[in-house]
A and B are shown apart, each in its own frame.
Chain A
Amino acid sequence: MKLKSLIRHETFLAVLLVVVLIVLSFQSDRFFTIDNLLNQGRLMTEIGLIAIAMTFVIATGGIDLSVGSILGLTAILTGVFWQNVGLPLPVAATAAIAAGTFAGFVNGVIITRFRVPPLIATLATLALYRGLAEGISQARSVRGYPEWFYVLGQKDVLGVPTQLWILLFAAVVASVILAYTTWGRTVYAVGSNEVASRFSGLSVEKTKLALYTASGFAAAVAAVIFVSRVSTTRSDMGTGIELDAITAVVLGGTSIFGGRGTIIGTIIGLCLIQALKNGLSLAGIKGDGTIMLIGAVLILAILASNLFERSGTRT
C-alpha cells in the first residue's frame, strides 16, 4: 500500500515534469536544446547534492537548515587555505571539505547528544557558520584560481558537464543505500517511529550523527563545485540554498514527518524546479513570478499526492 502510493507520487511528478518540459519548449525555442538542458544540469548540481543528503535527513523526521552556511564556510576556507595559508589547491579544497564535514558532525552532536530539536539546532548553526564565514573572509573575495580547477565547474567530461557526473554518481549510490542497506532501513524506521526503533536495538543516535555529518559533507563538496563554477569565493555563497533543497525533497514525495521518501523522487523534484526557473525566465517571466509559481507547484504536488493516498487507503 505504502509502496504503491510512493510510486504513484513519483509517477505523477514525472508526468508533471514531462508536461512542464513540453509547455516550456513551446514558450521559448531556446529552452529545449541540448546545450541549454546540460547547462541547467550544471546549475542544479549544488542544490542536488545537498538535496540528496537532505532526503535522508528529512526521511528520519529531521531537517538541516545550516547547509547553505556550511557551503559558504567551506567556500571561504577553500580560498583562505589556498591563498592566505598557501596550501596547494587540492589540499586546500580537501581541508575545507573536511571542515564542512566537521560542521555537519557538530550539528549531529548537538542533535543527538544534547537532544536539541534539529530545526532549532541547525537554525542556530545556520547563523553560527555564516557568521564564521563572514568573519574569516573579512568581506574580501578570492579570485584567480588556476585554470585546471575550472574543469570541475565549467568544463565537460564526455560531452556532459563534469559536476553532472558527480551528481549522477551520488544519486545512484544514495538510492542503493536508501533502498537496499541496513542503513537505509534504519533511516525509514527512525523516521516512522523513533521510539520503537530504539526499542528494537537499532542504533538511532549513530545513524543520525552519520546523516548530519553526511549532510555537511554534501554541502562542502557542493561548495567546491560552486567556487569552480563561478570562479570566485564570497562569504554569502549558498545563502538560501537550504530552502531550494528542502523544496526539491518535499516536492519529490519525502514526508516532512519522516518515514518515507526516495532519491528518485528528489531528483525529479529538483529537475522540475530547475526547468520551471529556467523556462520561465527564457519565456520572459520575472523572477518574482517564477518563485510564486514554484510555490504553487509545491502545494499542488502535495495536495495531489495526499489525494492519491487517501483514495488508496482506508483511514
Chain B
Amino acid sequence: MSNSTAYVSLTDMSKSFGGVKVLKDVSFDVRPGEVHALLGENGAGKSTLIKMMSGLYTPDAGTITVDGRELKFSTTRDAGAAGIATVYQELLLFPELSVAENVFLGNYPRTATGIIDWAEVRRRTRDLLDQLDTFDLDVDTKVLSLSVAQRQRVEIAKALSKNARILIMDEPTASLVESDVQRLMAVVRQLRERGVGIVYVSHRMPEIFALADRVTVLRDGAHVATRDIGEVDENQLVSMMVGRSIESLFPKAQASIGGTVLRVTKLNHGRHVRDISFALRRGEILGIAGLVGSGRTELALTLFGMTPATSGEIEMEGKAVRIGSPRQARDLGIAYVPEDRGLQGLVKAMAIRKNVSMATIERLSSGIFIKAGEEAQRALDAVKRLSIRCRNIGQPVGELSGGNQQKVVIAKWLETMPKVLILDEPTRGVDVGAKAEIHTIMGELVKQGVAIIMISSELPEVLGMSDRVLVISGGQITGEIDRADATPERVGAAMTAHRSGEAA
C-alpha cells in the first residue's frame, strides 16, 4: 500500500482531551477518485480524525500532507483552502436562507463594484445542483422547507462550490430513507468519477460494500487495518471493529408468548394515526415497519399519551383505558423509549443516577424527599444489569457514547416495570457492539413476559427481531405479517402500499 498517489495523507496523528488519549498514532490517506470508508464503533476516534482533517481540531502530534506539501490546519478555512470539505451528520445550514445563499455563504462572487452578484450566485448554484442530478430543487427555496436528503445535496453543492478535492461525509445516510440512500450513493459514485476523493463514515455494511474502494477500521483510538474492499468480508470487518466476533447479529430469543396485554381498536389521531387496530401479547416482539413519515412514531406517541387519541379504544389487560398523558401511560405500565434520544430521551447535563430515576422519582421518595441512597442503589443495579459503561453513576449522561446513552434511557423505563415497552429506533446511531447488547436486553425482557413494540427503519432488524410485523403506510396498517412469512419483499411492498380512500 503506497501513499504515492494519495492527495491527503495523515501520518501518526495523535490527540488527547483532558489527559485521555482519544487517537493514537493513526495514519490515513485518501487518493483522488476513491471512496475510502472509515469504520469503527462510537468512540473509536472516527470523528476526531475527520475533525483534524477538516481543521476543527489541531493534532497533538502527526503531520498532514496535502498534494505533497506538509500543511498545518488551524481553522476550517485552512482545510477548505487545501481542497478539503466536510458534510457533517448534523447539517450546518442556515434554515432561514435560500439554497443559493447557503451554497455560497461566506464565499459570494462579487461584481466589479464589490457588490454581491446575486444573479451569478443563483446561476452557479443551479449549475452545481444540476451536476448532482438535482434538477428538482429550486435555488430560491428556503432551506427550512427542504427534506434531510435535499439539505444534504445542498451541503454537497456547497463543498463543490469551493472546488473540494476531498469530501468527508460523516454518516451521510443515518437519517435517510431507502430511496434517498440510493440517490445519495449515485451522487457519491458520480463524484468519484470526477476525481473527488471521498471519506465515507458509516455503520451500514451494505453501503460500504457497494461504494468503498478501500476501508480503514479504527478501534479505541488506534488504527486496526486498511484494506482493499475486495480483501475483506462483513464478518471480518465487524470483528475488527469490536475486537471480537459477534456470533449472530440478531439473537432472537425464544420466549413463550402469553395472553393479550394491549388491544387497540380503531385508534385515530390526526392524519398520521388512522383506524389503527392490533393486539399485543405478553412476551411478544411486535415490529413496526414503515417509511419515515408513515405514522409509526405518531402511533407510538398516541399510545404513550403525548398526543392522546381523538377516537378509538385502548384496552390494557382487558380493561378499557384512556391515555391522556405520559404519566397516565406510565402508571398503566406503558413505557416509551423515544426516537430522538438527545432531545426526548435524556437530560444530558444530568447524572446517570438522576436520569435513571427520572420516570420513577415519586416512587423513590418518602413524602417530598428523594431517598438518595435507594436512588443511587437502583442506578448502580441498572448500570450493572445493562452493562452501561461509565466512570460512575454521577457522570453526566451527555459524556457517554450513543449506545450507553440509549441503555440509560432503557434503564429509566425498566425502572417503571413496564408491561408494554415501546422502542422507537432503539439502535439508531449505536455501534455494532452496543446494538447486539440492546437486542440481547430485548430478548431477556420478553422472557420475563414484557411485550415489546419495536419501531425501526432498518428492515433486517425488524425481520430479525420481531415475532410479527405490522406495516404502516400513510397512517394506516397496510400489512400484518407473521415472522415465518416476513420477507424483505413482502414487508417492503406493504411499506409503499396505499389503502383505498387515500389521497395521492
What is A's interface to B at a CB cutoff of 8 Å? 1-3, 177, 180-183, 185-186, 188-189, 192-193, 195-203, 259-260, 313-314
B83 to chain A, nearest CB (A): 28
Interfacial chain A residues near B348, Cβ < 8 Å: 192-193
Q: With contacts A195-B344, A314-B17, A314-B18 known, is A200 near B359, CB below 8 A?
A: yes
What are 19 sample pairs from A and B whose C-beta atoms fall under 8 A apart?
Answer: A180-B369, A180-B370, A181-B365, A181-B368, A182-B361, A182-B369, A185-B370, A189-B358, A192-B350, A193-B347, A196-B345, A196-B346, A197-B347, A198-B306, A199-B306, A199-B336, A199-B344, A201-B330, A313-B18
Contact residues of B between 330 and 355, Cβ < 8 Å to A: 330, 336, 338, 343-351, 354
Interface of B is mostly: mixed
Q: Cβ of B45 < 8 Å from any Cβ of A?
A: no
Chain B residues with CB under 8 A of A188: 350
B120 within 8 A of A: no
For the complex, is B412 an interface residue (Cβ under 8 Å from A)?
yes
Chain B contacts of A180 at CB under 8 A? 369-370, 372
Contact across chains for B369 and A193 when beta carbons are under 8 A apart? no
B18 to chain A, nearest CB (A): 5
Give the complex CA separation of A200 and B416 in angstroms. 11
- A190 and chain B: residue at smallest CB distance: B347
10 additional A-B pairs beyond A180-B369, A185-B370, A196-B346, beta carbons within 8 Å, are A2-B350, A177-B368, A181-B368, A182-B361, A183-B368, A185-B361, A193-B346, A193-B349, A201-B329, A259-B349
Looking at chain B, what size class is its interface with the partner chain?
A: 20 to 34
Q: Give the most central of A180, A188, A192, A196: most B CB within 10 Å.
A: A196
Contact A202 B369 (CB under 8 A): no
List 8 tightest A-B contacts by C-beta distance, closest first.
A200-B358, A181-B368, A201-B330, A193-B347, A201-B326, A201-B327, A192-B347, A199-B344
Let me know if B349 and A202 touch, CB within 8 A.
no
Contacts of B326 in A (CB 8 A): 198-201
A306 to chain B, nearest CB (A): 15
B350 touches A199 (CB 8 A): no
Instruction: Give every chain A residue within 8 A of B399 (Cβ-Cβ).
Output: 1, 314
Residues of B374-410 whose CB lies within 8 A of A: 394-396, 399
The residue in chain A whose Cβ has the minimal distance to the Cβ of B327 is A201
Bound together, the chains give a CA A180 to CA B368 distance in angstroms of 8
Nearest chain A CB to B413 CB, angstrom units: 9
User: B178 at interface (Cβ–Cβ under 8 A)?
Assistant: no
Residue-by-residue, is B313-332 near A (CB-CB < 8 Å gives 1, otherwise 0)? 00000000000011101100
| Bound CA–CA A190/B370 (angstroms) | 17
Which residues of A are found within 8 Å of B394, using beta-carbon distances? Answer: 3
Nearest chain A CB to B300 CB, angstrom units? 11
A196 in contact with B347 (CB, 8 Å): yes
Q: Tell me whether B362 is interfacial, beta carbon within 8 Å.
A: yes
Closest beta carbon of chain A to B101's beta carbon, Å: 28
Cα(A314)–Cα(B326), bound, Å: 35
Given contacts A199-B338, A201-B330, contact A192 B349 (CB under 8 A): yes
- Shortest A52–chain B CB gap in Å is 18
Chain B residues near A201: list those with CB within 8 A: 325-327, 329-330, 359
Contacts A196-B346, A314-B18: A1 and B396 contacting too (C-beta < 8 A)?
yes
**Chain B contact residues, CB within 8 Å of chain A:** 17-18, 306, 325-327, 329-330, 336, 338, 343-351, 354, 358-359, 361-362, 365, 368-370, 372, 394-396, 399, 412
Contacts of B368 in A (CB 8 A): 177, 181-183
A260 to B351, CA, bound (A): 13
Residue of A nearest to B305 (CB): A201
Inter-chain CB contacts under 8 Å: number: 77
Main secondary structure of the interface of A (DSSP, over half): helix
**Is B327 in contact with A203, judged by CB distance below 8 angstroms?**
yes
Residues of A within 8 A of B327 (CB): 201, 203
Q: Least Cβ distance of B98 to chain A in Å?
A: 28
Residue of A nearest to B394 (CB): A3
**Bound-state Cα–Cα, A195 to B343, Å:** 7
C-alpha spacing A259/B327, complex, angstroms: 22
> Which chain A residues lie closer than 8 Å to B343 at the CB level?
193, 195-196
B396 partner residues in chain A, CB cutoff 8 A: 1-2
Once A185-B354, A314-B17 are accepted as A-B contacts, the answer to whether A202 and B344 lie under 8 Å apart by CB is no
- With a cutoff of 8 Å between Cβ atoms, the chain B residues found around residue A203 in the complex are 327
Closest residue of B by beta carbon distance from A183: B368
- Whether A196 lies near B344 (C-beta < 8 A) is yes
CB of B91 to closest CB in A, whole Å: 20
Assess whether A181 is in contact with B347, with CB atoms less than 8 Å apart.
no
Cα(A181)–Cα(B361), bound, Å:
9
Please give me the residue from chain A that is nearest to B328 by CB atom.
Answer: A201
Task: For residue B332, give the distance in angstroms from its CB to the closest CB of chain A.
Answer: 11
List, in ascending order, chain A residues with CB within 8 A of B358's CB: 189, 197, 200, 202
Q: Give Cα distance in the complex from A260 to B347, angstroms.
A: 12
Q: Chain B: which residue is nearest A197 at the CB level?
A: B347
Complex Cα–Cα for A232 and B365 (A): 46
B18–A189 touching, CB < 8 Å = no
Inter-subunit contact B306/A189 (CB<8 Å): no
Residues of chain B within 8 A (CB-CB) of A192 are 347-350
Question: A188: nearest residue on chain B (CB-CB)?
Answer: B350
| Smallest beta-carbon distance A300→chain B, Å | 25
Question: Please, which residues of chain B bring their CB within 8 A of the CB of A181?
Answer: 365, 368-370
Write the chain A residue with the least CB distance to B367: A181
Interface centre among A198, A201, A259 (most CB of B within 10 A): A201
Q: Is the CB of A202 within 8 A of B361?
A: yes
List of B residues within 8 angstroms of A313 by Cβ: 18
Q: Which of B17, B347, B372, B395 has the most CB of A within 10 A?
A: B347
The reply to whether B369 and A2 contact each other, CB–CB distance below 8 Å, is no
CA distance A314 to B343 in the complex (A): 21
B350's contact among A177, A182, A189, A202, by CB below 8 Å, is which? A189
A255 (CB) vs chain B CBs: closest residue:
B349
Shortest A4–chain B CB gap in Å is 10
Q: Which residues of A contact B330 (CB under 8 A)?
A: 201
| Residue from the set B17, B329, B370 with the largest chain A CB neighbour count within 10 Å | B370
